Amino acid sequence: MWQTPELSASNHTNASDADPEGPLEHRSLKVGIITALGLMITLGNVAVLLVITSSVAGWSRNSRYFLLSLTAADSAFGLLVMPLNLCVSLLKDYTDGPDALCHVVAFCNATVYSTCMYTLATISLERYVAVFYPLQYSTLMTRRRTLQLIAFAWCFPPFLLLPISFPDSIIEVHFSNASLVCNPSYSTNITYSLSLTALIFFPCSIVMTFANLRVWCAAKRQRLKMRKHGCALRSRHNVASRVLVPVMAAYYTCWTPCMAAMIYNAVSGSTVPEWVEFVVVWLPTSNGFLNCIFYFWINRNFRRKFHLVLQRLALAVCPKLASSLGCSGISTTPFESGFLDNNNSVYERSSSVSSTCTLVSLA
C-alpha cells in the first residue's frame, strides 16, 4: 500500500531467526483480524448497493452517482485488497524477496486506497456546490461533469502509481511480515514518495476539510437563526454535526497514521514496530465500513428503502415467511414504494428546493 511503511527484507529474516514460532502465531491472529474486517466491509457495502442502485427519496441523480462510486471503492477493500494480500501472505515465505506478483498487489492496494480518497473529496465538493450554489447546481454539476469527476477519481491514481507495478522500476517492493502485505520501499526514492503525498493525500484532505467546514458553519448559522425565530425542530438540530463531524473525524483517524508512518519511513529510513505497522496499514480499510454508517445508515430515507428492499427480497425468496412476517401487503406502485423513473425528476426537484431553502435561510 503506497501510504504505509514497510519492513526491510533483513528485518524480516532477523525476526524469523529470533523467534521462528512467533511469526506463525501472530500471522494466524492477523489473518483472523483481516478476514473479519473484510467481511464487515463487504456485507455493509453490498447492503448499500442493494439500496442505492434504485432511487432513494431526497437523493439527486448526481448524489447517487458519487455514492455509488464511493461504495464501489469501499467494496474493493473487501473484494480485492484483502483477498490479494491474504493470498500473497499464505503463498510467500518470510525469507522470500520481492517478485512481480508483489509489485502487482502493491499497485492494486495503492490504486484502491487513492481512489477512495479522491472519491471522498468529490463527494464533499458536490455537496459544497449543492449548498452554496443551488440555483447554478444544474449548470455546474451536469451529468457529464459528474461522470468526468468520477472517471478522474478512478483513472488518475493508476496513472500516478504505475511505476509501482514494474519490478525494475524506481520503487522497490518487499513482502512485510508485520502487516502481511507487499509494501513499497519509498525510502529508496524520497522524491517520488513525497510527490505521491503531495498529489493524493493533502489535496483530498484540503478539499474535504474546506468543503465540510463551510457546510457545517452554514448549517450552524441556519440552525441559530431558526432557533432565534422559534421554528427549529428539535429532531433536526444536529443533522450536520451527526454527519459532517463523524465523516471528517473518521477520515483523519484512519488515514493520518498511515501518512505519518510513510513520511517518517521515507525521510528517516527507519521502520516502526511490528504491531504499529499492522495497525496503520489496515486502519484505512476500516474507513470503508465507517462510510457505510456515516453516509447511509444514519439517513432515515436510506433505512426505509433498505427495509423495503429486504421485504421485497423476502417476498420473492420465501413468500410464506414474508406472509408470516406481515410483508405480503407491500405496495408495488411506483410512488408508494419509492421507485420512480430513471429521470428521477421528482427527487431532483426535491433536492433543488431543499438547497434553495438553505440558501434563503442563510441570506
Give the domain CATH number at 57: 1.20.1070.10
**Is 314 domain-assigned?**
no
| DSSP-assigned letter for residue 243 | H
**Is 326 domain-assigned?**
no
State how far the Cα of 30 lies from the Cα of 274, in Å rounded to an integer.
11
Q: In sequence order, which residues have a C-beta less than 8 Å from that of residue 52 and are 6 or more positions away?
A: 59, 64, 67, 68, 71, 296, 302
State how far the Cα of 255 lies from the Cα of 121, in Å rounded to an integer.
14
Orientation of helix 345-362 relative to helix 202-228, angle to 10°: 70
- 16 touches 177 (CB < 8 A): yes
**Is 316 domain-assigned?**
no
Domain of residue 335 covers: 9-298+331-362
**Is 281 domain-assigned?**
yes
**Is 172 domain-assigned?**
yes
**Is 319 domain-assigned?**
no
Cα–chain center distance at 102:
24
pLDDT below 50 — which residues of the chain? 1-22, 234-237, 328-363
**Is 55 domain-assigned?**
yes
Cα dihedral across residues 349, 70, 142, 335: positive or negative: negative
State how far the Cα of 305 lies from the Cα of 302, in Å rounded to an integer.
5
- 58 touches 350 (CB < 8 A): yes
- 255 touches 120 (CB < 8 A): no
Q: What is the pTM of this model?
A: 0.77
Q: How many domains does the chain have?
A: 1
State how far the Cα of 152 lies from the Cα of 147, in Å rounded to an integer.
9
**pLDDT computed for residue 102 by the predictor:** 85
Please provide the size of the chain in residues.
363
| DSSP-assigned letter for residue 170 | S
**pLDDT computed for residue 334 by the predictor:** 39
Cα–chain center distance at 355:
25
**pLDDT computed for residue 63 by the predictor:** 85
DSSP alpha helix (H) spans, the chain: 9-18, 21-52, 61-76, 82-91, 100-132, 137-140, 143-160, 190-196, 202-228, 239-268, 274-292, 300-317, 319-324, 334-337, 345-362
How would you classify the pairing of strands 181-185 and 172-176? Answer: antiparallel
**Is 3 domain-assigned?**
no
State how far the Cα of 305 lies from the Cα of 192, in Å rounded to an integer.
46
